[in-house]
Amino acid sequence: MEEKKIKHVCQNCGWEGSKWHGRCPQCSSWNSIVEELQPLSSSGKRFSLGSKDSVPLPFSKIAKDSLQRYPSGLTEFDRVLGGGLTPGAFILLGGDPGIGKSTLLLQVCGNLAKKYKTLYISAEESARQTALRANRLKVDHSNLLFFSEGSLEKILHQSERNKPEVMVVDSIQTIYLDSLPSAPGTVSQVRESASRLMSYAKSCGIAIFIVGHVTKEGSLAGPRVLEHLVDTVLSFEGDAHYSFRILRSTKNRFGPSNEIAVFEMGDGGLEEITNPSRVFLREKSEDRIGSSVFTAMEGSRPLLCEIQALTVSSYLSIPRRTALGVDLNRIQMVAAVLDKYMGTELGKRDLFVNLAGGLKITEPASDLAVALAILSSRYKKPLHRQTCFFGELGLTGELRACRFSRERVKEAEKLGFQEIYLPKSVQSYLKKDKFKIKLNFKDHLEEFSFFKTKLD
């Protein structure tokens, strides 16, 4: 009989120790350490990335074949992956429960099965449940196989038997190894299962998707090593009150990271939105007080979105500062700069800032658009709906340069905007370009003097 010993493992960071702690010594999280049985020796088939006779080689001797990619049938999905699905890729998809992760992957599998043999494995749903979803999505192909199983040994056995080119495992937290006595979802099970799947994907050239659960804080559940093992980390985001879903790549070894794709959830599944700027601006059909348009950059894609601001008299000793979709710390900084250089007296007023459409933007280039939306609300002066803005705001009130200025201007011009306000420091960078849109270069926040009127 195999000898076993007890270890105490943190389910948040993977720390292991010989005794229990209320607080993890490594990540400082409370009540995250559980007791696990660990065998002194593990058995199971391993897959090597190279043969036993392989030796180190210089790069000049390694074949430089062009990277083959499988088109998924969804243009936006392929763009986030870097141009398509790569054989041997190990991809992690995470997102909140019910956001549509399984729906997205089932649609992708249905398209891939037209050319490539695909195996969909679910340890959370029965075959009947998945078939009902497949019928709704109109996914039906003889090359798409379904297998409801949680044992990794049985999954790998069926994969070697059917030899698929693409495989989906939904989800990694429900997969387990029979050789490990701990429960599915524990750190040791997730780490070992992911390691086996990664080795199998690389050695056999199979593209594998794994679905990961997220914690209540929004981060991927399980050990951090899970994100290091995979080639690509995809995050599927969305708001329960909106039909839009955003697929974002936070890590990608086969293409640029921080790319996004926008989908809309409908009765027939997820539909691609090839021009998300028009979708997020379709409600802005007239000049409105407290509303500005910001030219954002998500990866290599320019995206125009609407920023809304509201200032009202506060009945509290400490006025409220609320931000949805934008960084609250930057909102507080922008409010302080406006008080200093524009005399807005926001210290006595509640301030609310919202990014319309359920988007989330963190880049500093949104400072100017946020500041002008606040000024518009404070002075009750609407901004022209055919005008957009971008620029980082310094603590001294100056406007600082931002990356991808040319791409931002081109996107605004393509959507029919008449003028754009941007930092003066990028003027030399754009002087060789000819744009139909009017460029208004500004150096300091005080140059927006048309807002300086008598306050109520």
**Residue partners of 405: CB distance under 8 A and separation at least 6:** 390, 422, 426, 429, 430
When pLDDT is averaged across residues 420-434 and rounded to a whole number, the result is: 92
Residues in the chain: 456
What is the average per-residue pLDDT within 438-449? Answer: 92
- pLDDT tier at 80 (50, 70, 90 boundaries)? very high
Long-range contacts for 46-52 (Cβ within 8 Å, ≥24 apart)? Answer: 46/196, 46/199, 47/196, 47/199, 47/200, 47/202, 47/203, 47/204, 48/199, 48/203, 49/199, 49/202, 49/203
Which of the pair, 319 or 224, is modelled with greater confidence?
Answer: 319
Flag whether pLDDT at 367 surpasses 80. Answer: yes
The pLDDT value given to residue 46: 53
State the pLDDT at residue 453.
Answer: 60
Q: Write out pLDDT tens, residues 159-192.
A: 999 999 999 999 898 999 988 877 888 888 888 8
Average pLDDT over residues 121-127: 89
Instruction: Average the pLDDT over 376-397 and give the result.
Output: 94
Is 55 a residue whose pLDDT tops 80?
Answer: no
Distance of CA 264 to the CA centre of its chain: 16
Percentage of the residues of the chain whose pLDDT score is greater than 70:
90
pLDDT of 361 higher than 70: yes
161 or 53, which is more confident? 161
* Neighbouring-strand partners of residue 122: 170
Name residue 267's amino acid: D
How high is the pLDDT of residue 266? 86
63-72, 97-106, 385-394: least confident range = 63-72
As a whole number, mean pLDDT of residues 252-258 equals: 88
- What pLDDT is attached to residue 201? 94
The whole-number pLDDT of residue 50 equals: 58
The whole-number pLDDT of residue 85 equals: 94
Specify whether the CB–CB gap between 118 and 167 falls below 8 A: yes
Q: How confident is the model at residue 40 (pLDDT cuts 50, 70, 90)?
A: very low
What is the pTM for the complete model shown? 0.79
Question: What pLDDT is attached to residue 1?
Answer: 44
Provide the pLDDT for residue 93: 95
pLDDT digits (tens, 9 = 90+) for 266-306: 888 899 998 888 888 877 778 889 999 999 998 888 999 99
Residue 334 or residue 60, greater confidence: 334
Residue among 420, 343, 401 at smallest CA distance from 374: 343
Whether the predicted pLDDT of 45 surpasses 60: no
CB of 221 within 8 A of CB of 214? Answer: yes
How far, in Å, CA of 47 to CA of 219, rounded?
Answer: 30
Condensed to tens digits (0 to 9), the pLDDT of residues 205-229 reads: 999 999 998 876 666 666 677 888 8
The mean pLDDT value for 78-106 works out to 92
- The per-residue pLDDT for 64 is 62
Query: pLDDT band for position 51 (50/70/90)?
Result: low
| Confidence at residue 274, expressed as pLDDT on a 0 to 100 scale | 86
If one compares 5 and 301, the residue with the highest pLDDT of the two is 301
Structure confidence at residue 290 (pLDDT): 94
Mean pLDDT to the nearest integer, 118-124 = 93
pLDDT value at residue 105: 95
Quick one: average pLDDT of 130-143? 89
As a whole number, the mean pLDDT across the chain is 87
Confidence band of 372 (pLDDT split at 50, 70, 90): very high
Q: What pLDDT was estimated at residue 4?
A: 58
